[in-house]
Each structure stands twice: as C-alpha cells, then as structure tokens.
Structure 1
Amino acid sequence: MAELTRATQDYLKRIWSATEWSDEPVTTGRLARDLGLSPSTVSESIAKLAREGLVEHRRYQSVTLTEEGTRHALRMVRAHRLIETFLHSRLGYSWDEIHDEADALEHAVSLRFIEAIDEHLGRPEYDPHGDPIPRPDGTVPPRQAIPLEEAADGEATVLRVDDSDPERLREASTIGLYPGQAVRIDDGVVSIDDAAAEIGRFEGGVWVTDNR
C-alpha cells in the first residue's frame, strides 16, 4: 500500500467513496468540506493528481478518477473494509470504533497482509456497516439499497448504515438498526419490536431494501 503517499491514498479513496452512494458531483469544494481542508489546498492537490494521471479535472467541473486512480482507490477501500471487518469480528471492536482505526491501519499494511485477512475471514462480501468489500480483481459486490427516508411504509430490511459519523452509529444501535435487521416503517417512524425512532434522525445514514 506504500507506492502512493498517504495523502494521495486518502484523496483517491475519498473521491471513489463519495460517488458510491451519492449522485452529487465530486467537486474540489465538496472535497475540501469532507476532508476539512482549505479549497486552495485541495485544488493544488487535485491538480497534482491530474498531472500524475490519477484524476481528471477541469476548472469549475467535477473530479473523476482515471482507470489508474480507480485501481488504487479500490485497493484502499478494500483494505479499509477488510480491516474494519477483522477488528469487529475477531478483536471485539464495536462498530462505531472501527472506522478511525481502519483509517490509520490501512496505510501501513501490505497487500499480502490484506489478502491474508480476507482468507482468514472467509472472503466476506460486506463489512460490518453493510458496505460491499471490493474483490481482488477490482469488481464490487452488488448492493441494491435506498435511503431509509425514501422507503415506503411497510416492511424493509436494513442493508447499510453509514460509518462516517460514530454518533449516528451509536444512535442506530439504540434501536437495533444493524445490517440484516428487519424493520417496520410507518408514517416517518422506523421500528423494531418495541423500539422506535423518527426516520429524520438517520436521514442520509441508513439504507434499506427497496420496498416501493
């Protein structure tokens, strides 16, 4: 994982991840907001990545990954999600702790280490949050899901809970919103057995099967 700088790896992973569950264009302004950096810093970094053939970007337009940039991004996403799965399933980390830990570890491990984790875990297709784990050949397991707030009233199954906000993960845990959990949706409320919460608390953070 060390052929690119850590900063470059972070940019490529962020650009790819930003388009995984959203149609919003990836702009330098959006990246600056997501990464907590100044727009000028991001613009300079994107220009450097473009010169290196990792992204395509024209001024005032969105940023897209090249084929080479996508290859590197998927390696990082694969490493991140396999490390998360290992920490959660083998080391007992709670699911609101593993994201930051994986962020630190993914830059330090070798490709051989990641492949060993994958084999040890039985080659899982999804991480603890329900995100698909890219395969070694760069393909990504399919996951058809819609945001909870777009689901129709009735039964649905949780497929994914966004891992970018530990507090939201803890909130989801309070009523049992885990991937694979069946839920009931009724007039803006999601419920599991006797636990219930307003769907607005999880807007943009919980994804379910399409029951429309």
Structure 2
Amino acid sequence: MASPAVDDYLKTIYHHTEWQPDRITPSQLALELGLAPSSVTEMVQKLAAQGLVTHRPYGPVSLTEAGELRAAAVIRRHRLIETWLVREFDYTWDEVHDEAEVLEHTVSDRLLDGIDARLGHPSFDPHGDAIPDAAGHVNREPFVALGDAVPGHRGRVLRISDRDPALLRLLDDAGLRPGTRVEVRDASTLVLDGAPLDLPDGAARAVWLSA
C-alpha cells in the first residue's frame, strides 16, 4: 500500500548503505528520521510483517528484495526530481533536497517518465548519487571516502553529501563538484588544478572519491 511514511523509512534504510557497508540500527534510523525510538520500533515491526525488511530484536535492519525494489523506486523519483530542478529551473544543488522530498510523493509515474526522457535518462543526480533505473538497478564504481583516502591518492570526486546545504555552497565556491579531479594531501586538504585547497569542516565526511 502506498504510504509516504513507509517510503521514507525504506528510502532512509536504502541510503544508509549506499556509501558504507554497515547496516542501519533502529536507533540510527530514529535519529535520521527525527522520531522517537519506540515509534521506529513499531514501524519496523510493521515493515517486517509486510515483507519489506528483516530485523531481529536489538539488531540492524535490512531491506528484503521487495523492500529494496520499492526503496529504489522512491530514490529514483527523488533524484530525478532533483536533477530536473537543477537543469530546468535553475535551482542550485543545495536547494533541491527539500523540494524533492515534497514532490516525490505527488509526481505521477507518467510525468516522471517524461522528466527522465527529457533529461536524457541521467545516471547520477547533481550530488553524484546514482539514480536507479526503472528496474531498480544502479551503476556505481568503486569509491573511497575522503576521510579514508591515503595521502597522494588521486581520483575524481564521485559524490558530495547533500546533508549540509551550507557545506555544499562552500565546496561549490571552491570549485569542488562531482567529476572534479583532485589529489589528496590529507583529510582536510586537496590539490585542485595544481593548487592546494583547504577544505571546510565536515568535508572529509561528505566527499567520496573514485578508488
């Protein structure tokens, strides 16, 4: 049954393991969603009863195949809408997340297919996150978080988290976007176009590079 609340849970669980391997715990899920742990526990039990997640008491939560397909569909809607707003309506990449949160629950499948076709079937959103195709498949190359990259590592910026709009604006002003080629000097300094770039606080946890 269609439910924005269910979709938000599935989307959050899906997103948690996109760029790191650890499964999400109920307490982390409660923190991400801004809800009371008791409410999250109750909803996780309902999702498990619907065959959308697997969960054991006090353990992490995982999507089932059905849950992953549904989550990928919601993620696809969100990221296509973000890409559409940036390309067609001159939104900046730090402005689109909240708009997409609203529109993902209201845009029809027909309109979404039209948006996808108009954009040329993009594989990535403005932040570098993969856009699942209609079957839920994604293409994602090997990656390393900036905070885990060794000095001297060279690669392209694959993804910048959209969690902090202020950080996105700072990195954009510095010329750092998905596709930018950099060399790692340390977790707080990159070499960009031959010149050192001192990164703002939080960047090491928000930037992913090609491995």
Fold shared per TM-score above 0.5: yes
Which residues of 2 match residues 105-116 of structure 1 at below 5 A?
105-116=103-114
Q: CA deviation at 1:153?
A: 2.9
The structure 2 residue matched to 1:102, chosen from 73, 92, 100, is 100
Q: CA deviation at 1:49?
A: 1.0
Amino acid at match of 2:204: E
Between 1:48-57 and 1:29-38, the stretch displaced more is 48-57
Matched with 1:192 is: 192
TM-score, normalised relative to structure 2: 0.93
Q: CA deviation at 1:88?
A: 0.6
Which residues of 2 match residues 55-134 of structure 1 at below 5 A?
55-134=53-132
Amino acid at match of 2:198: A
SS in 1 for 2:155: strand
Which residues of 2 match residues 1-212 of structure 1 at below 5 A?
3-154=1-152, 155-188=154-187, 189-193=189-193, 194=195, 196-198=197-199, 201-210=202-211
Q: CA-atom RMSD, angstroms?
A: 1.6
Between 1:91-100 and 1:140-149, the stretch displaced more is 140-149
Amino acid at match of 1:133: I
How many residue pairs align between the two structures? 208
CA distance in 2, matches of 1:92, 1:72: 29
TM-score, normalised relative to structure 1: 0.92
Gaps of 5+ in 1: none
CA distance 1:152–1:20, shift in 2 (3 Å): same
CA distance in 2, matches of 1:32, 1:58: 16
Which digits, 9 at most, give the CA deviation of each residue in 1:30-61, with x for residues without a partner?
Answer: 10011111100100111111111111111111
Asked if structure 1 preserves the Cα contact closer than 8 Å seen for 2:14 and 2:68, the reply is: yes
Gaps of 5+ in 2: none
Asked if structure 1 preserves the Cα contact closer than 8 Å seen for 2:167 and 2:200, the reply is: no
CA distance 1:8–1:187, shift in 2 (3 Å): closer
Asked if structure 2 preserves the Cα contact closer than 8 Å seen for 1:149 and 1:200, the reply is: no
Moved over 6 A (4+): none
